[in-house]
Amino acid sequence: MTSIPPVDLRSDTLTLPTPAMRRAMIDAPLGDDVIDVDPTIDRLQAIMAERTGKEAAIFVPSGTMANQIALRVHCRPGDEFVCDDGCHILHYEQGAYAQLSGLAARPIIWPDSIPTVESLEHVVRPPSEHVVRTRLLALENTHNKGGGRVVPIEAIERCAAAAHQLGLATHLDGARLFNAVVASGIPLERWCAPFDTVSLCFSKGLGAPVGSVLVGSREMIAQARRHRKLFGGAMRQVGLLGAAALHALEHHVERLAEDHAHAARLADAIRQIPGLTLEPERVDTNIVIFRIDSPLGSSRQFVERLAFEGVRAMPFSHEHVRLVTYLGIDAPAIDRAIEGLRRAATI
The beta-strand segments (E) located in 76-195 are: 79-84, 104-108, 133-140, 169-174
The reply to whether 301 and 230 lie within a common domain is: no
Classify residue 214: in a domain, yes or no.
Answer: yes
Report the pLDDT value the prediction gives residue 291, as an integer from 0 to 100.
98
Classify residue 6: in a domain, yes or no.
Answer: no
Classify residue 10: in a domain, yes or no.
Answer: no
What pTM did the predictor assign? Answer: 0.96
Report the pLDDT value the prediction gives residue 3, as an integer from 0 to 100.
73
Percent of the chain that is helix, strand, coil (3-state, to 5): 45, 20, 40
Query: How many structural domains is the chain composed of?
Result: 2
The reply to whether 122 and 234 lie within a common domain is: yes
Please state, in angstroms and rounded to a whole number, the distance separating the CA atoms of residues 154 and 151.
9
Classify residue 2: in a domain, yes or no.
Answer: no
Residue 314 is part of which domain span?
255-344
Predicted confidence (pLDDT) per residue in 28-80, tens digit = 999 999 999 999 999 999 999 999 999 999 999 999 999 999 999 999 999 99
Strand partners, 139: 172
Q: Find the CATH number of the domain harbouring 331.
A: 3.90.1150.10
The reply to whether 200 and 60 lie within a common domain is: yes
Classify residue 242: in a domain, yes or no.
Answer: yes
Report the pLDDT value the prediction gives residue 255, as an integer from 0 to 100.
97
The reply to whether 243 and 326 lie within a common domain is: no
Per the omega criterion (within 30 degrees of 0), is the bond before 325 cis? no
The reply to whether 171 and 76 lie within a common domain is: yes
**The pLDDT of residue 2 is above 60:** no
Classify residue 135: in a domain, yes or no.
Answer: yes
Classify residue 34: in a domain, yes or no.
Answer: yes
The reply to whether 173 and 244 lie within a common domain is: yes
Classify residue 271: in a domain, yes or no.
Answer: yes
The reply to whether 312 and 325 lie within a common domain is: yes
Please state, in angstroms and rounded to a whole number, the distance separating the CA atoms of residues 71 and 140.
14
Q: What is the mean pLDDT of residues 158-182?
A: 98
Predicted confidence (pLDDT) per residue in 116-156, tens digit = 999 999 999 999 999 999 999 999 999 999 999 999 999 99
Where residue 347 falls among pLDDT bands split at 50, 70, 90?
A: confident
CA contacts within 13 A on the Cβ side of 36: 8
Where residue 1 falls among pLDDT bands split at 50, 70, 90?
A: very low
Predicted confidence (pLDDT) per residue in 197-249, tens digit = 999 999 999 999 999 999 999 999 999 999 999 999 999 999 999 999 999 99
Report the pLDDT value the prediction gives residue 4, as an integer from 0 to 100.
83
Predicted confidence (pLDDT) per residue in 286-320, tens digit = 999 999 999 999 999 999 999 999 999 999 999 99
The reply to whether 184 and 270 lie within a common domain is: no
Report the pLDDT value the prediction gives residue 281, as an integer from 0 to 100.
96
